[in-house]
């Protein structure tokens, strides 16, 4: 047998073995379910707060398409990043680096779900929402994963836009337009992303260094990262209150957003003034954990506020 044929059969056998080892949960993991849950939640807020009516069945279908589209972007990201995922403790057990799903399968899975989710969203609710979803997938898979992530410490600043689009897509699914309110929701997530990820990057910089990803602490140092976290927190805190100031959220939202914003700033300042050691790590861990709660509470109040008049 020729070497080429041998290699082909070996490759096919290896691919087949890997494919047969994949469980349903591996394909589910390719969709990044934790990111997806945040996407579903924020898109739902966009759907609920938009000033028009959408039939519940269509709203559910739209939400499903947005969730699957976000998941597809996650699968494409895992296909592209399998080499660096294998070098980081946080990501080395993902299906592709662990060898349970072949890169080709992850790519096909991501592409099919991307095309399907965009096409169906366009058919179900409208072209603008579908175009925004397509752009979000492109932005996450190509602009962030393929271009920014490995080339600039501003990767998560610009790439954060991908995670900020879902409420705007939800809004566009209902109204068929982009409005100031949708943009404000976008901006809240956009400016929330850098302090959230940089707090994590301060704790995981060895991991990022091993993978060769130029996160801000690795490139500019911890001091600059802490300063940037504080600057972005100063922008985020007033933006968090903006929905109440602009009149599309109520007093309860305004009060809670103010309190949460002050707490966010206090934790960011705590990171800023602690330069090293266990106390600095603890401060970063606190802000990282609080930032998740912050975004969840802001959007949860936006979601339930209309129910209480």
Partner 1 sequence: MSEKPDGIILTEEQRRRRRNRSIALGLVLAALALLFYAVTIVKLGPSIMSRPL
**Binding-site ranges for partner 1 (CB under 8 A):** 1, 9, 13, 16-17, 20-24, 27, 55, 57-58, 61, 64, 124
- Residue number, 6 or 206, with CB nearest to partner 1: 6
Question: How far is the C-alpha of 42 from the C-alpha of 57, rounded, in Å?
Answer: 18
Tokens found for residue 44: 């739902």
- Residue number, 28 or 296, with CB nearest to partner 1: 28
Question: How far is the C-alpha of 255 from the C-alpha of 61, rounded, in Å?
Answer: 34
- Residue number, 124 or 144, with CB nearest to partner 1: 124
- Residue number, 9 or 266, with CB nearest to partner 1: 9
Nearest approach, Cβ of residue 282 and partner 1 (Å): 42
- HSE of 299 in the Cβ direction (CA atoms, 13 Å)? 29
- Residue number, 5 or 276, with CB nearest to partner 1: 5
**Dihedral sign, CA of 66, 71, 75, 78?**
positive
Contact between 186 and 295 under an 8 Å Cβ cutoff? The reply is no
Nearest approach, Cβ of residue 57 and partner 1 (Å): 5
Neighbours of 128 (CB within 10 A): 19
Nearest approach, Cβ of residue 76 and partner 1 (Å): 19
- Residue number, 61 or 215, with CB nearest to partner 1: 61
Tell me the CA distances in angstroms from 2 to 7, 8, 12, 46, one per residue in order. 9, 10, 15, 59
Nearest approach, Cβ of residue 55 and partner 1 (Å): 5
- HSE of 298 in the Cβ direction (CA atoms, 13 Å)? 30
Nearest approach, Cβ of residue 20 and partner 1 (Å): 4
Nearest approach, Cβ of residue 29 and partner 1 (Å): 13
Contact between 218 and 230 under an 8 Å Cβ cutoff? The reply is no
- Residue number, 8 or 292, with CB nearest to partner 1: 8
Cα-flanking dihedrals φ and ψ of residue 107, to 5°? -65, -50
Contact between 261 and 268 under an 8 Å Cβ cutoff? The reply is no
Tell me the CA distances in angstroms from 253 to 44, 246, 284, one per residue in order. 17, 12, 26
Nearest approach, Cβ of residue 24 and partner 1 (Å): 4
Q: What is the length of the chain?
A: 309
């Amino acid at each position: 047998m020729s070497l080429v044929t041998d290699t082909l059969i070996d490759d096919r056998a290896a691919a087949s073995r890997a494919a047969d080892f994949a469980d349903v949960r591996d394909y589910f993991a390719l969709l990044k379910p934790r990111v997806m849950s945040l996407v579903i939640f924020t898109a739902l807020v966009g759907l609920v707060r938009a000033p028009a009516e959408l039939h519940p069945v269509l709203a559910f279908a739209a939400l499903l398409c947005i969730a699957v589209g976000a998941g597809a972007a996650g699968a494409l990201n895992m296909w592209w990043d399998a080499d660096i995922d294998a070098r980081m403790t946080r990501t080395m057990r993902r299906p592709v680096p662990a060898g349970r799903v072949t890169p080709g399968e992850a790519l096909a899975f991501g592409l099919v779900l991307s095309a399907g989710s965009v096409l169906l969203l366009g058919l179900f609710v409208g072209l603008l929402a579908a175009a925004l979803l397509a752009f979000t997938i492109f932005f996450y898979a190509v602009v962030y994963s393929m271009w920014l992530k490995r080339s600039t410490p501003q990767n998560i600043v610009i790439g954060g836009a991908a995670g900020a689009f879902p409420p705007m897509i939800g809004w566009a699914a209902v109204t068929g337009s982009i409005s100031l309110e949708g943009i404000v929701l976008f901006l809240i997530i956009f400016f929330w992303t850098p302090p959230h990820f940089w707090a994590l990057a301060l704790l995981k910089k060895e991991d990022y260094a091993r993978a060769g990803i130029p996160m801000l602490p690795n490139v500019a140092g911890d001091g600059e990262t802490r300063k940037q976290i504080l600057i972005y927190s100063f922008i985020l805190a007033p933006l968090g209150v903006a929905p109440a100031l602009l009149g599309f959220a109520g007093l309860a939202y305004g009060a809670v957003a103010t309190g949460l914003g002050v707490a966010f700033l206090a934790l960011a300042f705590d990171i800023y003034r602690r330069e090293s050691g266990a106390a600095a790590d603890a401060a970063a861990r606190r802000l990282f954990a609080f930032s998740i709660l912050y975004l969840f509470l802001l959007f949860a109040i936006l979601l339930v506020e209309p129910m209480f008049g």
